[in-house]
Amino acid sequence: MSERMTKATRALVLSVAVMVGLAACHSTVVRQTGSSGGSRVVSQPKYGQTVRVQRGDTLYGLAFRNGIDFRDLASWNGIGSPYTIYPGQTLRLYPSSGSRPPAGTGTAATGISTTPRPATPPATSTPKPPPPQAAPVNSGFSWRWPADGHVVGRFIAGDATKQGIDIAGSGGQAVRAAADGVVVYSGAGLVGYGELIIVKHSEAWLSAYGHNRRRLVNEGQNVKAGQQIAEMGSSGASREMLHFEIRYNGKPVDPQQYLPAR
């Protein structure tokens, strides 16, 4: 009798294990795992929109211009490191039709269709973008002010013209890296920023320095916090100043929440 019960118990445990395994295979993953082992919400896609690569464009620059994390832009277009793109190339600002839909839009494809798709999908079937992920209060960096001077323009969330702060100064004044990192963009190809430098501090954090008179660093160059990377100017601006941004997963945040008080 006991031997029969033991066999029955083993069979029940095996059945439960199989059911759990099948459930895991059909679950929908809505976060991407980063190299550090953490998770992050993907960028908000711009469905139906594309961008054509022009001479001098970089993947980092295009991602920055469109408020998208460079990792997502690369993934959506099947571009691997070192993220080489070419003039004339068209990049999607959204995942391909075969990608897993965002949270709340259904489950991931399993290869087996149990319900026929309608010939014309309803208007409400457009995938909804994932909610934006709030930036952490502590970035893990000891940020420094990128230039001396008074703040004459402040960050306003949701305002495309106020995605950072403006620091007034004089022509030729030192512009310094706000934290250790590597230069991922150095050029003048982004309209409205003039001579621009973008520094990558980690997979999630970038800083940008616009309206320079002269850029002193090149793409791929490592920089240290406090190191001069440019001379202040008025390129793309009506006065001599530095436009400074901090971005988390491609989205602008208020730099003054991270810079030390002064």
Q: What is the pLDDT tens value at each position of the chain, 262 positions in all? A: 445 445 544 544 444 343 334 333 333 333 343 333 345 667 889 999 999 999 888 999 999 989 899 999 999 999 998 899 999 999 999 998 755 444 433 333 333 333 444 444 445 444 555 555 677 878 889 999 999 999 999 999 989 889 999 999 999 999 999 999 999 999 998 889 999 999 999 999 999 999 999 999 999 999 999 999 999 999 999 999 999 999 999 999 999 999 999 8
Domain match, 159 and 67 both: no
**Quick one: pLDDT at residue 262?**
85
**Quick one: pLDDT at residue 55?**
87
**Quick one: pLDDT at residue 43?**
84
Domain ranges, residue 61: 43-96
The residue written with tokens 């895991």 in the block is 24
Residue 136 inside a domain? The answer is no
Q: Report pTM.
A: 0.68
Residue 121 inside a domain? The answer is no
91 with 62: CB under 8 angstroms? Answer: yes
First to last CA, the chain: 80
Residue 235, CB-side half-sphere exposure with 13 Å CA sphere:
22
**Quick one: pLDDT at residue 106?**
35
Domain-terminating residue out of 59, 74, 96: 96
Domain-terminating residue out of 71, 96, 121: 96
CATH number at residue 187: 2.70.70.10
Q: Which long-range contacts (CB under 8 A, 24 or more apart) does 109-112 make?
A: 110/25, 110/26
Residue 9 inside a domain? The answer is no
Domain match, 85 and 161 both: no
Domain-terminating residue out of 65, 80, 96: 96
Residue 213 inside a domain? The answer is yes
Residue 24 inside a domain? The answer is no
Domain match, 177 and 84 both: no
CATH number at residue 88: 3.10.350.10
Residue 38 inside a domain? The answer is no
Cα dihedral: 203, 226, 234, 51 (round 10): -10
Domain count, the chain: 2
